Structure formats: C-alpha cells, structure tokens
A and B are shown apart, each in its own frame.
Chain A
Amino acid sequence: MRLNTEPNLASPDDFYEALIDLHRGLSDAQSATVNAKLVLLLANHVGDAQALREAMALAREAAPADPGRPA
C-alpha cells in the first residue's frame, strides 16, 4: 500500500472546517466543480500513480456499481 491512510493532518479539525467552508454558499453544481478541481490539484500534487489508484479504489469501496447499469 503506497497510500498513507494513517493520520497525517496536523490539525484535522481545522482542515475539516476549511473543507466545509469551501463549499459555503455554493449550489450543488458549483460544489461539484470545486470538488473536481480539488481532486485534480491534489492528484497532481501527489503525483504517485499507484497511490492515486489506491485512493480511487478506497473511495469507490462503499459504492458498488449500480446493478441497473452495465459496468
């Protein structure tokens, strides 16, 4: 596992608050765009392809494919 899932944030509560604040006053569509930009910026910062794939797999874990749609 290349992805660090151990605690790594110096001030977790500060980060979480900033993340929620980031979306304050935005429509769902605007929030989706902000989240997408955040993912892209952070992915480039991380750079490590394997860590990124591991993160994608973990993020997807609790959301199995919709059985009504082809994979």
Chain B
Amino acid sequence: MQSTYRQPDYAYRRSPDQSAGRAVHHPVIVAGAGPVGLATALDLAQHGVDVVLLDEDHTVSVGSRAVCYAKRALEILDRLGCGEAVTARGVSWQRGKVFFRDRLIYTFDLLPEEGHRRPAFVNLQQYHLEEIMVAAAAKSGRIDARWRNKVAGVEADADVVRVTVETPDGPYVMTCDWLVACDGARSPIRGQVGLESTGQVFRDRFLIADVVMKADFPTERWFWFDPPFHRNQSTLLHRQADNVWRIDFQLGWDADPEEEKKPERVIPRIRAMLGDDRPFELEWVSVYTFQCRRMERFRHGRVLFAGDAAHQVSPFGARGANSGIQDAENLVWKLALVLSGKAPEALLDTYSDERVYAADENILNSTRATDFITPKSAMSRVFRDATLELAEKHPFARKLVNSGRLSVPATLARSPLNTPDSDPFRGAMVPGAPAADAPVTVDGAPAWFLDRVGGDFTLVHFGAAGLPSVLRCGGIDVRVLQVGHDLHDTAGLLEQRYDAREGTTYLFRPDQHVCARWRRHDERLVREAVLRAACNPP
C-alpha cells in the first residue's frame, strides 16, 4: 500500500546537548512534530525565539489522517510561509453534496463570495502538509528539530521544566522555561504531569479507505446518509492530492475492526459505492473510533498543551488539525511577549481560556454532527430521516441537516483581551473576530489584506492621518498601516467587510483577531487597548 507516497527519513543526529555533561537550558521546547507542533515552532521562530522541536519518530505521519484544511488554517499557514505550497499541492474545494438513500438532496457552497485569497478548504494528506512544514522549519534557522527524541519524563516546578529525552544513544536531560506539548491525543506528557482529558466516547466505528483512482467526480465533499451501497450507515468521500480519494464508511459499534480492514471486505464496499468497474487501488485502510474530550485547562504552570493533546473531537467537521493550528497561533504571540518580558505570565492563562472556549465550540459542533449522523434512539432516527426527506424540497430543512458543521474559527467575543466597542459598528468584525481577508493594492500591485496584518500588533487606519509607521505601547511595537497610503482598498471590499469609513481604526492582535476598533484614531485609546491585550497594567 501507499503507492503514491514515499515517507521521508529524517535522520537522527546527536545533539551537543547530549554530551554537555549537564542539563542544557532552552527557552522553549516543543514536543511533537505534527502539524500543531510544527506550526508552534515555525511561529515561535518568526517571533525570533529559538526552539527545540522533539519527535519520537523519524518521518512524517503515516497513513490517512487529517485531510481538510480550512480557510483560517490556510491563512495561518500563509503567515508561517507554507500556505502557498499547501494550496498548490492540495485540491481546493468549497462545494459539498448531501445524498439520502439513492438521491442527491442538496448542494451547498461554503464560500459563496469572491475576494478571498484562500478557498473554503484545501484537501491534502497530512504527510504532505507535515513535509512542507518540516522543510520550512529547516529553513528558519531557529528550529532545532530532533528526530527519534522521545520525551520520557517531565518534571515541572514554578521556575523551570526538566525534560528527560530518550534517543538511540540513550537518555539525556534538558531544562526549559516553557514546554509546549503537541504530542497528540494520547499525549504521554499529559500523563507524565498527572493530568487527563475527559469527555465522551462514541460507540461507533468508521472505516477509512484511501483509494487511488482516476475519477472525473468534481472536487467536492460528498456525504451519503443511508445509501443503497451501505444501508443504514453513512459514507463520506473526499478528494486528496495525487488522485487519492479518502472514503469514510460508518460501520456501527458491533463491527469487527480486524475483519473490516481486510481487502476482501473493503474492495466490494468501494466497488458498490463506485457503481461501475473502474480500476482503483487501495492505498490505506484503517478503522477508528473517536472521542470528544478536553483537558480542564490547557496551561499547567510552565507546560502548555495544544492540539489533540489538549482536546479531541470527532472527525466530522474537520475540527481537529484546524483547531490545533489555531491553538498554536493563539499561544505563540503570547509566549513570545512573556519570554521577552513585555507581558506577565498571566497572559498565558488567556491562551487556555480562549482555546478552551474554542474547544468547547468545536466539541459541541462535532458532538451534534455525530448525533445526527448516528442517531442514538429510534425517535432520533425518525427525526433525522424526516429532516433529510424534507431537505430535498424545503430549504429550511437543509439548515437542520448536519453531516458536520465544517470548521470555522471561533469568534472570541467575550475575551478579556478585547476592548469593547465604544463606537457603533455593523457587521461581523467585532472585537474577538478573526480578521476577514480582502484584496488590496500595495505599490500598484495586487496583494491580500491578511498578508499585511498580524505577526505583530497591527493598527489599520482608514484615511491619511499622517501616522508614524510604528507606535510604541509600553514596550510593545504596533505596526501602523494607513489605508489609502500603505495599501489601497481598490475593490472597496475592505471598507465593506470592516464597515469602515474615513477615520475608522482597527487594532489587530498578532494572531489577526480584531482587538479593538474606533471611528477615529486616538493614540491614548490604542495604547490602552494594547496594554489590555497583553495583560499589562494600564
């Protein structure tokens, strides 16, 4: 199997730390070089922080895992220098179809408007994403990636974290100010520090088959409820790169995972689904069950948890890797400010608060989708089927059909880091919202708004107020962009999406979330908003 992909081999190299004769100290150690750990390391490097990145393996992820990267994750990957490569390597899509029994009941479009750099989703096998990110990490100059370095023990106290690492040359010990655990759903580090992730186990099993075939199906997400080729269960089809198609077959709780994985069971299922005798090859088969759960808090002193280590959801909705990448971007700017002494450690508690809020939103959405896909009672099934039957003719019922509410970023509207509005605004760009993209012009050339904001705090002022290019707010630099000077809203979409007029001023956090907004620029108010967003005293 895996005829379309050859796993890279990242060589184990002995680190000087292993021969130092003492525990060498690092500001940040990131454990786990999956998409979340890599995003954390790349973002820290962009903030000028040196990172040690540990992974117990010596290659990227194996088999069929994360598939769909949502617009917001792609925008974060853009900031990390990987968005273009991921989009080019993957397949973009925004439309989906829902089938019930033998009929198409409706089609949906996740991004029905123009003027965004990135599509609603890019599908790409996780190993390709990781390979792109590992290459970016190698170029950063600040990421010391250590393969076959397995975290075997963690002792954290108020001042420092001691990390024991096992390697082919035996164990060694390092210390760090901050340990970021991105070590996956089973997170050994979570166990090593005596914590747990709790929630709900779903009594259902799903078969994943990655299939290589030439098919002229459009690049869309197709979801079947109770199809003729797989009665009483559901099936999901996604296209990935290299003509690899990912199929998820719901099996039910009583299915025998070992039996179901056998090609003689899998091939007839796929054959029945395709409905013809086109050739295909099996690339990967596995059976999974899932849980919806999270840790109570994502910060435990000097140990910070991100991605599946912190929270887990069902796969319906593509909220796993997407939310993990958003964890990384929420955490890193805060960690960078704390490391440079520009913000108190309390800022890191807001990482936990904001991402626990987002995790709860993701868990709620994915639990609801799972309950719709797998009705838990006879009456739940009656309502599910009634909804699907109505949806074929009646638009209202399509809003009730839930084959996965596809990943959108949380609006952190209640975050204490926001400065509440004092001026009237309309539209979606409330404090706490992730910034909307728009096409702009810079020096006469087309550009994207989101390429211009973020990384640092960014102040965007609509109009020419003759502002300096940098505002210093209590040690924190704020980049200033004047619309009409530094960039031009040629298409008028920026003004529209931000409900802006002459004088309107937006402050964005380094993670591109709206922090504050006003109808006129007032340096004192900007300063107060930046101090508040960094948990600094006014």
Taking Cβ atoms with an 8 Å cutoff, the residues of A that contact B are 29, 32-33, 36-37, 39-41, 44
Given A29-B382, A33-B386, 7 new contacts (CB under 8 A): A32-B382, A33-B385, A36-B379, A36-B383, A39-B383, A40-B383, A41-B390
The distance in angstroms between the C-alpha atoms of A36 and B377, with both chains bound, is 14
The distance in angstroms between the C-alpha atoms of A32 and B394, with both chains bound, is 19
B308 to chain A, nearest CB (A): 28
B-side binding surface: helix, strand, loop or mixed? helix
Q: Are A37 and B396 in contact (CB under 8 A)?
A: no
The distance in angstroms between the C-alpha atoms of A37 and B385, with both chains bound, is 9
| A40, A41, A44, most chain B CB atoms within 10 A | A40
Q: Are A37 and B390 in contact (CB under 8 A)?
A: yes
Q: Are A40 and B382 in contact (CB under 8 A)?
A: no
Taking Cβ atoms with an 8 Å cutoff, the residues of B that contact A are 379, 382-383, 385-387, 389-390, 394, 396-397, 400
Q: Are A44 and B396 in contact (CB under 8 A)?
A: yes
Nearest opposing residue in chain B for A34, CB measure: B386
The 8 closest A-B pairs by CB, nearest first: A36-B386, A44-B396, A37-B386, A32-B382, A36-B383, A36-B382, A33-B386, A37-B390
| B386, B390, B394, most chain A CB atoms within 10 A | B386
Q: Which residues of B lie under 8 Å from residue A33 when comparing CB positions?
A: 382, 385-386, 389
The distance in angstroms between the C-alpha atoms of A36 and B396, with both chains bound, is 15
Q: Are A40 and B379 in contact (CB under 8 A)?
A: no
Nearest opposing residue in chain A for B378, CB measure: A32
The distance in angstroms between the C-alpha atoms of A40 and B390, with both chains bound, is 9
Q: Which residues of A lie under 8 Å from residue B389 when comparing CB positions?
A: 33, 37
Q: Which residues of A lie under 8 Å from residue B396 when comparing CB positions?
A: 44
A42 to chain B, nearest CB (A): 11
The distance in angstroms between the C-alpha atoms of A29 and B389, with both chains bound, is 15
Give the number of residue pairs across the A-B interface with Cβ within 8 Å: 27
Q: Are B387 and A40 in contact (CB under 8 A)?
A: yes
A44 to chain B, nearest CB (A): 4
Q: Which residues of A lie under 8 Å from residue B390 when comparing CB positions?
A: 37, 40-41
Q: Which residues of A lie under 8 Å from residue B400 when comparing CB positions?
A: 40
Q: Which residues of A lie under 8 Å from residue B379 when comparing CB positions?
A: 32, 36
Q: Which residues of B lie under 8 Å from residue A40 when comparing CB positions?
A: 383, 386-387, 390, 397, 400
B359 to chain A, nearest CB (A): 25
Q: Which residues of B lie under 8 Å from residue A36 when comparing CB positions?
A: 379, 382-383, 385-387
Instruction: Please list 16 pairs of residues, one from A and one from B, whose beta carbons are closer than 8 Å in the complex, sorted by A's number.
Output: A29-B382, A32-B379, A32-B382, A33-B382, A33-B385, A36-B382, A36-B385, A36-B387, A37-B389, A39-B383, A40-B386, A40-B387, A40-B390, A40-B400, A41-B390, A41-B394
Q: Which residues of A lie under 8 Å from residue B383 when comparing CB positions?
A: 36, 39-40
The distance in angstroms between the C-alpha atoms of A44 and B386, with both chains bound, is 14
B36 to chain A, nearest CB (A): 35
Q: Which residues of A lie under 8 Å from residue B382 when comparing CB positions?
A: 29, 32-33, 36
B106 to chain A, nearest CB (A): 15
The distance in angstroms between the C-alpha atoms of A18 and B400, with both chains bound, is 27
B175 to chain A, nearest CB (A): 47
Q: Which residues of B lie under 8 Å from residue A32 when comparing CB positions?
A: 379, 382
A33 to chain B, nearest CB (A): 5
Q: Which residues of B lie under 8 Å from residue A37 when comparing CB positions?
A: 386, 389-390
Nearest opposing residue in chain B for A37, CB measure: B386
| A33, A37, A41, most chain B CB atoms within 10 A | A37
Nearest opposing residue in chain B for A36, CB measure: B386
The distance in angstroms between the C-alpha atoms of A6 and B385, with both chains bound, is 33
The distance in angstroms between the C-alpha atoms of A32 and B383, with both chains bound, is 9
The distance in angstroms between the C-alpha atoms of A33 and B380, with both chains bound, is 11
Nearest opposing residue in chain B for A33, CB measure: B386
The distance in angstroms between the C-alpha atoms of A44 and B389, with both chains bound, is 15
A71 to chain B, nearest CB (A): 14
